[in-house]
Structures are given as structure tokens and as C-alpha cells.
Structure 1
Amino acid sequence: MELPDRGPGADLVGRTAALLPDLSVDLQPSGWRLSGGRGRDAARGAAYLRQDLDELAEAYDGYVGELKLSLCGPWTLAAAVALPRGEKALSDPGACRDLRQALLAAATDHVDRVRSLVPGADVALQFDEPSLTAVLTGSVPTASGFSRLRSVDEQTAREALTELTAGLAARTRSIVVHTCAPSPPLRMLAEVPDLSVALDVALLGGAEWDLVAEAVEASRAPWLGLVPTDATGTHPGRYVERVLAMWRRLGLPDADLSTLTLSPACGLAGRSPDAALGVARLVQAAAHELGEIAQGS
């Protein structure tokens, strides 16, 4: 799991970078960098993962059902990892391609390892892409911070994600791109086969909700990040009401609420175990309420 308080190698980018075959990374003051040899922080990240997989196998012994895994997405990875000379990998199309191919190999191996440890697992694989909107709009800063890297066109971004989903679809129950940035590129993501989208409901405007409606009608309902990661309390009523009001305003039938997957708005890596469990219970309660509404329609 992603637990940043452990230190380098337990963060989103470091954990994923440590998995990449044939690409070595080390940690510099400016962040993760491709290098000629694997640094101790990357080795630590790989060790964390081995430990976590051992604990996963023990905790999920005999488990049958859906199990979600998370990795850093290809565009956020390219926007975060630097080349040996210091500029972000995003600045070099060849480096982006190498990272993407290595990520596909790493994800394939990771899913296979988990499936061997938990044979009853039906794996959902999530790629976290918090930087995707910035990549597409040319908002990622250069290494110096004085300029911005050139934007990636939507066709290139779409083709890269399509390559990932095509390579992993046979091994997974579902593949999800999670983005918690404003103005998510929903139209582009909807054009990627076998891909679902996970969104923070609080960041959706009217135009985004229209695209959510289109996805539902196309039988590709998104994952809705309904409950904020800093939420407290025990009753999900206000979160359910927000979604239900927009749902009905769009003219979507209540029965289709059953097609939704609910989640926290973003990752819970920064919360304490008790706080994370509280948010998860709110999500579960919200799903129960919406399920009852769907059944009663």
C-alpha cells in the first residue's frame, strides 16, 4: 500500500518507479530520477512492496472477490520522474515511451504476483493520474521552474492509455484511471477501450456531469469519489443527496444508480488507520443508501 509516512519508496511515484524493470531510479533533492543504478531508496521501495505482499497473502488467505491495486499512471509518472540530465521525462517522447512500456511490464508482473498470492482475487487495477490535466494543458513546470513543458496532445495521451488497457484487460476485472484534478479530460478518457474513470464528485461542474451521464448511458459508469478524504461522522446523507440531486437533474433513472462504484474522493494514504476506516465506512454506507434507492425505483 501507499504509505508516505514510511519515507521514500512508499510514495505513489517512488513505489511505482521501484517496480519498473530495466529502468533504475534514485532519489535526488528534486525528486525521483532515472539513473545508471538502483539507489537505496528504490531498493527500500521494492522491499516495502515485498513485505506488503507477504502481509496481503496472509490477510487475504482464502479470500474470493474484488481486490483493487493502485499504481502511478504513465503521464503522472513521466511528469514526476526526471531524466539523468535533470529535466522531466515528459520533455522527451522517447523517454515517455520507455516509461510506458516499463510500466506495462511492471503492472503485468504485479497483477500476476497478486493473483498467485490470492487466487480468488478478481483484480481491479487503478492508475492514479493526478497530473494528467496538467500534462494535457502544458502546465507541468520545467526542472528550473521558470517555464512549462510543452503540452501532450490528446491523441498521444489516449494512445498511451489504450496501449496499457489492451495489455492488461485480460488479466483484470477492470482498469481505472483516477484523477482528482479539476477539469478532468473525460471526453478523451471515454475514448479509451476497457477503461473506467474515477472522479472527485466535488470537482465536477455541469459539463463534466453531462459526460458522466453519457458514460452511464453507454454502460461505462464511472467510479464516483463521493466522500472527501477528510470526512468525519457516521452518516453519509449529505454526500448521497449531492449525487442524487444531480442524477435526477440529468434525467438518469434511479435504477442506474446500481451501476456506480463509490469511493473516497482521493487516496487515504495520509490518514491514520482509524480515520481511513471511518471514511471507508461512510463510502460503504453511501453505497448501501444508493443501492436501496435503485432497488426501490
Structure 2
Amino acid sequence: MTCYNLGDLPGTSLAEAGDVIASETPLRTIPRLPARGLGSDAVGATLALMPELPIEKGPRSWRLTTRPQILTRRVWDRTERDLDQLEELWGEVEEVQFAVMGPWSLATRIELSGGHRVLADFGALRDLTEVFIGGMGRHALELHRRFGARVSILIEEPDLNSLAAGTVKGTSDFDVIPTVFPKALGERLHAVVAGLRDAGIESVRLNQLGRHPRVDVARICAADGVLVSRSAIAGTAMLDEVGQALSQGITLGVGTIREGDFLDEDRANPRRHAVAVARLFDELAIPREQLTHAEIVPAAPLNGSTLLRAARALACARVANEMLEKDAGDL
């Protein structure tokens, strides 16, 4: 049980973002600052860790190129400078986490040089998956070298529902993207999770916040944790999926914290979130002793307002998690 940022934060100052993370979260997640412009989004930042796949900005999306462009080199350089700055700011820490876009969603959002989605080419999808595992493994080793820390990864897969529903459109009427069934989605991610663990990554979390969560895929791929919006855990089928995930040993990250939340003097705000998660476990008929398998997390990335509001929300999340750990029976 711990508190952590989801990756994205507001502003353009890495030093300020790093200071907020160090002050408010026990598990330090490398900050991503989309406001810094092109290449700072989830796709660009993830591809920066995969130098075998140089990119350029195409007319519709990111596009793979045969050799590095100026943009690619800029993103690589900025990633290196960011780590230098965080290493100086944080020093040695117990655990560090980094957030990336997962291979399925990357494959829907990147085009090959000919203009087709990577997803439409089985060989390209296979290569992307292999390069993803290698790139994330190398990055984890670099983080361990710099911070002396255990390394965790938060994989964002926002496109799983579209893939499972067969609603991902090709780049033309002749470019048909077939439905990818949950079993296939989970099995590819299972190979990814296994590869990341072999590379020394200690914990793999699957981020499914802000949408109908594919808890079934998280179970198939045997992720260590799955992040789900509290509002999405409703109905018998979803309650059963969540209960089975918990019984499988998967940690549940419950997204309840909003940007307007803050740590008030009598701690009523964090207590409200801790009570909501405790009552969810009651609804699942799971003993409150098992609340150690839950984490209270932001319901969405905290980059929509100011860094001060994000810091206050993370402080609220931190105390709410402490309440789950220490006062579960009294909530």
C-alpha cells in the first residue's frame, strides 16, 4: 500500500514537479510534463525510451522513421537531462516508478512509414512489443543505477476497450483493424509483464482509470496491480471481476482523488476516501484486513490545473492510504 502520482503533472518545471513528488509521495514516479510541448505526451515520452524506433510527427499521429530526426534527438536529450536533474534532487530512494504507454495502445497510435497503423501489421506489432520490453528493461536498469532503488512500472493502456470492441479505425477503407479479443490482449501483455520482471522490474501496474476497466485483461496478464476508477466498480459482473483479481493477489488501485481534494486540518477529506474504499471491500465481502491490497490513487492525471493543487491532492491521497493501513477496522 502506497501513494504515487500517475505520471503527468502541470507546468514546465521538472525541479518543481520533482520536489512535489518527493514531498508528498512515498513512491516516487518520474514526472511527465505535457505542457512542455511536442514529445512530452505519453506516446512521445515512451518512444524516447525505445531508441530503435525513431519517430517524427506525421499528419495524423506519430510516425516511425528509418533514422532519427531532430525531434527524436531532442526528446532523447531531454529525457537524459531530466534524469540528471532528478538524480541530483532525490538522491538515493527506496523505490521509483515510471509511467509509459503500453504496447497495445502504442500500436494504435503510431503509424508505419507507409501510413498504416502498427496494429495493422502483425510483424510490426511483434517487433514493437519486443522493443518495448527491451527499452523498458534498459530504462529500469538506468533508474536503479541512478537512484539505487527498486523499480516499478505503470503501464497505461487506454485503448483496450476499443480493441476489444473492434472500433479502432484503419487509415483507409481498405485498412481494416479486426477485433482483438480479451484473451489475446491479455496474453500479449502477459509476455510483456514476464519480460519486464526478467529485466528486474519489481512491480507492474496496469492503469485502467477513467474508462470501463479491463480487469479481465489485468488478470490474464498477471499484473501486480490494476488501477480502476471507483465509479467504474459497479454491477455484479464488475464486482466479481474485481473480487477475483484481489483473490488472485492483484493489488487494486482505486481512483477516488480529484484535483480539488486537499488535506484539511481535521483530515475529513482523506478519511472520506479511505471510508469509500473500506466500504467497497465490505461490498465485495472481503475482510478489511485485506485492505493492505488496496491503494488510493488519483482518479485522473493531475495536470489539469496547477502544481499547487496537484500537491494538495497528493497529500490527501498519502494520508488516505495511511488511514487504510492503520485504521481499517475503524473506518
Kindly indicate whether the alpha-carbon contact (under 8 Å) linking 2:270 and 2:320 is maintained by their aligned counterparts in 1.
Answer: yes
Contact 1:256/1:294, CA 8 A, preserved across alignment: no
Q: Which has the higher contact order (CA 8 A, sep 6+)?
A: 2
Instruction: Kindly provide the CA deviation profile for residues 92-136 of structure 1, in whole angstroms up to 9, marking residues without a partner as x.
Output: 1111111111111110111000000011x1111111111122122
Q: Are 2:151 and 2:201, in contact at CA under 8 Å, matched by a contact in 1?
A: yes
Task: Name the counterpart of 1:99.
Answer: 128
From 51, 58, 64, the equivalent of 1:28 is 58
Tell me if 1:178 matches 2:207: yes
1:114 and 2:143 are equivalent in the alignment: yes
1:48 maps to amino acid: R
**TM-score, scaled to structure 2:** 0.82
Q: Which runs of 5+ in 2 are unaligned?
A: 1-30, 264-268
For the structure 1 residues 130 and 56, does the alpha-carbon distance in structure 2 shift closer, same or farther, using more than 3 Å as the test? same
- For structure 1, which runs of at least 5 residues remain unmatched after alignment? none
Q: 1:146 to 1:97 in 2, by over 3 A?
A: closer
Deviation at 1:272, TM superposition (A): 2.5
- Cα RMSD over matched residues? 2.2
Match of 1:261 in 2: 295
Distance 1:145 1:31 in 2: 18
* TM-score (ref. length: structure 1): 0.91
Q: Following TM superposition, by how much is the alpha carbon of 1:262 offset from its aligned partner in structure 2, in angstroms? A: 2.3
Counterpart of 2:161 (choices 128, 133, 157) is 133
1:231 & 1:173 partners in 2: Cα distance? 32
Contact map agreement 1:25 1:34 (CA 8 A) in 2 = yes
1:196 aligns with 2:225: yes
Distance in 2, matches of 1:274 and 1:85, equals: 44
Shift of 1:226: 2.4
Letter in 2 for 1:25: I
**1:277 to 2:306 alignment:** no
Quote the offset at 1:271 in angstroms: 4.1
* Residues 73-84 of structure 1: pairs in structure 2 closer than 5 A: 73-84=102-113
Letter in 2 for 1:183: H
Deviation of the 1:239 alpha carbon: 2.7
Q: Aligned to 2:181, which of 128, 134, 153?
A: 153
> How many residues are treated as equivalent by the alignment?
294
- In structure 2, the CA distance between the partners of 1:278 and 1:215, relative to structure 1 (3 Å rule), is same
Partner SS, residue 69 of structure 1: strand
Offset of 1:180 from its aligned partner? 2.2
- TM-superposed CA distance for 1:270, in Å, is 4.1
Mean Cα deviation higher: 6-15 or 33-42: 33-42
Query: Distance in 1 between the 2:155 and 2:228 partners?
Result: 12
Deviations 1:134-176 (A, max 9, x none): 1221122323599973221223222211111111114122111
- AA aligned to 1:169 is R
Q: 1:33 to 1:255 in 2, by over 3 A?
A: same
**What per-residue deviation string (whole Å, max 9, x for no partner) do you get for residues 161-205 of structure 1?**
111111111412211111225322212321223542122222222
